[in-house]
Structure 1
Amino acid sequence: MQFVTILTLFLCTFFPILHMINALPIFYNRKKRKQNIVRSNKSISILIPCFNEESIIETAIKGINRLDYSAKEVIYINDGSQDETMKILHKLLRLSPEERKISNQLKSNKINNFYKSTIYPNVYVIDKVNGGKHDALNAGIEYSKNELVVTLDADSILANDALHVLNEVFQDPDVLAAGGMVHPLQGVQFNEKNIERTLSVNHVIRFQIFEFIKGFYINRVSLAKFDALSVISGAFGVFNRKILFKVGGYRKTLGEDIDITLKFQQYILKNPGKRMVFVPNAVCYTECPETWKDLFKQRIRWQKAFIDCVIYYFPMLIKTFLFRTVSFFMLIDSFILGTVAIYFTLFNFGYMLFTNIGNAQNLLLFYLLGVVSLNFIYSLFAMYLANYYGVKFKGKEKIRLTVTIILDLFVYRFVTLFFVLFGTISYFINRNDWNKVSRSGRIYELEKDKGMKNVG
């Protein structure tokens, strides 16, 4: 027991330090491949699944209309919404029925109608019977016609230059998929020339703003360098359309983003030299939960989705564990240390409380000091990297950021552990419960001349 405890503490320290060091720009430059020459704009289809999005759909349309990338089409997929979503789409886009031939390679629920906007070029709407997000995305892939497919949530807004950045990345024919940087939409203020970061929001959003910074600029950047990406965020992902057909599209699961990423990893395993990347300069802003209740529902669903994919893909992960970094990091770093170790630590503390309360107190003190110290260093690294990519906090926002970091160390860190514990147990009790997070209904100012370029 003592050996396992020491090994667990060592690994829980080693992997965060490894990711911090590997995420540093100096190592990025060392491995950086030759810059791609942009010879032409890749054609892109943007798919936006919509289910009961009446409070945010207008913002989504404004956000897409701001983009100046010419070689794109936009497809909104109304997945049997029970509110006014379809009516608003008709009103704002002035839809007219359109015919489009599809291959029927990916199955989805019945398509009621396919529409084209009469006022915006290359903007379309699929109206279909409800089947879930995976079903809506499969329908969108079928009706899309361009080389690359971008998947966005209805509450996600792309930075002006995001598609141009991705276009450069996909000039490399070996890149099959890419994930972009995601920031909470509530944490930005749009100005004429750029955007400014704000923490003038409630603590639930503040924690998520800082959490996204840590998760993407350290963990996601590091895993991408190791060719070990196991998830491309559902809020903003880019995929080669032909490969989406080859892997069978999306599977019905709570975590479509993890599932499709691992499907692409399976494809890459059979096609050496192909790869997926993370692009921190391609930025998306997405609305995050604003209450503890909604945050709880979202994170429980995320953990359930993670456990589901670990179980579903376990044969592949265990077979390739010794020679594929994605399998190694997903099993050891994410599953063993990110989930199993939490249960082991609690069990160990409980056992020692009954057998040796003195040692239990010493171990608890050592654990808390270690966790706080390591996470403080991790937080400093995250802010350094965020600053490197252009995320800066000014004036009073620095004070709010300092308070957020302190509360994150002593409060939110342990809240996230509870999410993991509860979510894992919940998977085996009710794995199919979706728990959709409610939208804020806030109207965001997204005028076309209010730039969002060059912000990480």
Structure 2
Amino acid sequence: MDIFILVLLICSVLFPVYHMINSLLIMRKPPTYLSDKCTKEKGISVLIPCYNEESILKTTIESLNALKYNHAEFVFINDGSTDSTFKVLEELLELKPIFKRYSLTELEFMPIKKVYQSIKYPNMIVINKVNGGKADALNAGIIVSSNDIIVTLDADSTLDNQSLSIINNAFEDNSIIAAGGMVHVLQGRKKVNDQLVPSLKSKFIVRLQLLEYLRGFYVYKASLAKSNALSIISGAFGIFRKDVLLEVKGYRRTVGEDIDITMKIQKYLGRSPGSRIVFIPEACCYTEVPESWKDLYKQRIRWQKAYTDCLVIYFRDLCKTVLSKKLSFFFLIDSFFTGIICTYVIVVSFFALLLFINPLSLNKIFIYLIFSSICSFIYNLISLRIARKYAFKLPSKEYNRLLQTLIGDLLVLRFFNIAVVCIGTIAYFIRKEGWNKVSRTGRDYTLEQAS
């Protein structure tokens, strides 16, 4: 038991320290795509899968129209919605049916009923299809899309005005075949002089997620990408070369299509020396996050099921290369062993020690909690330090809210996530689910942010 606690303590500190140092090193050298700007715009197709999104579509369409990029095509995929999603798209876009030629491939998706083009905005396309799930909808979008670069975007996400231009510059490098962008919390922004600036004037649960997204992207994803070990390109904002998506046969119908497609592309890298998956923090999108603990729980259980699903599918391959590939090492040792196995052991040990009342052993558990808490607090501070480089600067009057959020992360969200890991992993083997959508707020953020 003593040895295991020691191993647990080392792992819980060693990996976060590695990611913190790695992410800080990235800041020392600006990426070439910021200095060597491309003068020609590439064609980019933005795929927006929609299932019962009637409340958010107006905001989504307005945000897409505000983008300053001329060679973008926006493809809405109505995946058999049971609400008025298609009707809203018809009203907002003034749709006309078109004949869209596309080749038969090995990508699987449910039948497409009809393809439409907007009369009002000719660069907007709508696919109306039979329900098949998010992965299925994305596959249909890939086939119908016209351009060589594919961006996947959730319907409740909005792109920053410069994101497509930054992607255009980054993909001048032919070695980049896929990338993840930065995902910010939409409710954590306020519009000032036509600019979205950070703000903590939101619900406590939203602030906790805002902080979590900062460290999850600016530290963890950035570090993994630098180590060529990125295993998840977020479904809210991913960028891919179309030919690579076709080569790996698109998305698999699963609860976690984003992690699965990333793992498939990572396998493709083994057959394509010199190719890379990168993280582009300057390309940003803003996404709506859950505002209730019930919805957050549903979302995180789905995320944990997605991770477990890929762990089961790719486990054998990962074990074979755990000592030779950084992806396998971090996936199995950092994520699986430290993130899941150790979580179960520490939870079981804690309750067992409470029942048997062994003060000596309890002290060891508390020592672990204290060390991991200190490490988590420093991790958050590092993520805030890096975020400042990317214009995430809070006004000084909001520092009290920031301190409350930092404390809440340690005392509330951390233990919430422990529970999600334990429950979600077991739940995967009981019942897999499809979209498992959380409810949208339906709020008009263009008005709310300006107030």
Q: Could you say whether these structures have the same fold, taking a TM-score greater than 0.5 normalized by the shorter chain as the test?
A: yes
Higher mean alpha-carbon deviation, 127-136 vs 192-201, is at 192-201
Partner of 2:390: 389
Change (3 A) 1:388 1:431: same
Q: Does the CA contact (< 8 Å) of 1:36 and 1:169 recur in 2?
A: no
Q: What's the counterpart of residue 274 of structure 1? A: 275
1:226 aligns to 2:221 (yes or no): no
* 1:57 and 2:57 aligned: yes
Match of 2:380 in 1: 379
| Unaligned 5+ runs, structure 2 | none
Query: Aligned ranges for residues 329-340 of structure 1 at < 5 Å?
Result: 329-340=330-341
Task: Give 1:235's aligned residue.
Answer: 236
Say if 2:134 and 2:435, in contact at 8 Å, map to a contact too.
Answer: no
**Alignment-derived partner of residue 9 in structure 2:** 9
Report the alpha carbon displacement of residue 364 of structure 1 after superposing the two structures with TM.
Answer: 2.7
Map of 1:150 onto structure 2: 151
Q: Single out whichever of 404-413 and 75-84 deviates more from structure 2.
A: 404-413
Aligned equivalent of 2:188? 187
Q: Secondary structure at the match of 2:445?
A: coil
Q: What residue is the counterpart of 1:316 in the other structure?
A: 317
Distance in structure 1 (CA, Å) of the matches to 2:342 and 2:47: 38
Cα distance in 1 between the residues matched to 2:118 and 2:166: 27
Corresponding position of 2:75:
75
Structure 1: which 5+ residue stretches go unaligned? 451-456
Residue 297 of structure 1 corresponds to which residue in structure 2? 298
Deviations 1:110-137 (A, max 9, x none): 1111000011121110000111001100
Q: Deviations over 1:389-416 (max 9, x none)?
A: 2101114322211111111112211111
Higher mean alpha-carbon deviation, 389-398 vs 263-272, is at 389-398
The answer as to whether partners of 2:133 and 2:434 remain within 8 angstroms in 1 is: no
Displacement of 1:21 after TM fit?
0.8
Cα drift, residue 197 of structure 1: 1.4
In the TM superposition, what whole-angstrom CA distance separates every residue of 1:325-370 from its partner, at most 9, and x where no partner exists? 1111111111111111101112333444566602222113212211
Instruction: Please give the root-mean-square deviation of Cα atoms over the aligned residues, in Å.
Output: 1.7
Q: Which is further off, 186-195 or 265-274? A: 186-195
Question: Which stretch of the first structure deviates more once superposed, 295-304 or 345-354?
Answer: 345-354
* Corresponding residue number in structure 2 for 1:29: 28
How many equivalent pairs are there? 447
Shift of 1:266: 0.5
**How far apart are residue 248 of structure 1 and its match?**
0.4
Other-structure match for 1:40: 40
**TM-score using structure 2 length:** 0.96
What's the offset of the Cα at 1:97? Answer: 0.6
TM-fit CA distance, 1:32: 5.3
CA distance in 1, matches of 2:54, 2:7: 51
Any residues of structure 2 matched to 1:129-278 within 5 Å, and which?
129-278=130-279
Equivalent residue letter for 2:169 = E
Describe how 1:334-413 pairs up with structure 2 within 5 A: 334-353=335-354, 357-413=358-414
Q: Which amino acid aligns with 2:41?
A: N
Give secondary structure in 1 for the equivalent of 2:181: strand
| Alpha carbons of structure 1 residues 433 and 165: separation in structure 2 relative to 1, 3 Å | closer
AA partner of residue 265 (structure 1): Q
Identity over aligned residues, as a percent? 47
Which residue of the partner structure matches residue 454 of structure 1? none
Per the TM alignment, residue 190 of structure 1 is displaced from its structure 2 partner at its CA by 1.7
Secondary structure, counterpart of 1:311 in structure 2 = helix
Following TM superposition, by how much is the alpha carbon of 1:95 offset from its aligned partner in structure 2, in angstroms?
A: 0.4
TM, length-normalised to structure 1: 0.95
In the alignment, the residues of structure 2 paired with residue 107 and residue 362 of structure 1 have an alpha-carbon distance, to the nearest angstrom, of: 54
Name the CA distance, whole Å, in 1 between partners of 2:36 and 2:267. 26
The CA deviation at 1:446 is 7.7
Return 192-201 or 407-416, whichever deviates more. 192-201
C-alpha distance in 1, partners of 2:248/2:207? 38
Amino acid at match of 2:16: P
Deviation at 1:192, TM superposition (A): 2.5
Bigger mean CA deviation after superposition, 256-265 or 408-417: 408-417
Flag the 1:160–1:446 CA change in 2: closer, same or farther, 3 A. farther
Taking the aligned partners of 1:43 and 1:23, their CA distance within structure 2 comes to 31
How far the C-alpha of 1:44 sits from its partner, in A, is 0.4
More displaced stretch, 185-194 vs 209-218: 185-194
Deviations 1:186-206 (A, max 9, x none): 110122242221212111111
Distance 1:38 1:434 in 2: 38
1:416 and 1:226 map into 2 onto residues whose CA distance is 25
Which range moves more in the overlay, 325-334 or 349-358? 349-358
Distance in 2 of aligned mates of 1:129 and 1:156: 23
Q: Residues 409-454 of structure 1, C-alpha deviation per residue, up to 9 Å, x if partnerless?
A: 122111111111111111111122542100001012189xx9xxxx
Could you tell me how far 1:30 is from its partner in structure 2?
5.5
Amino acid at match of 1:404: T
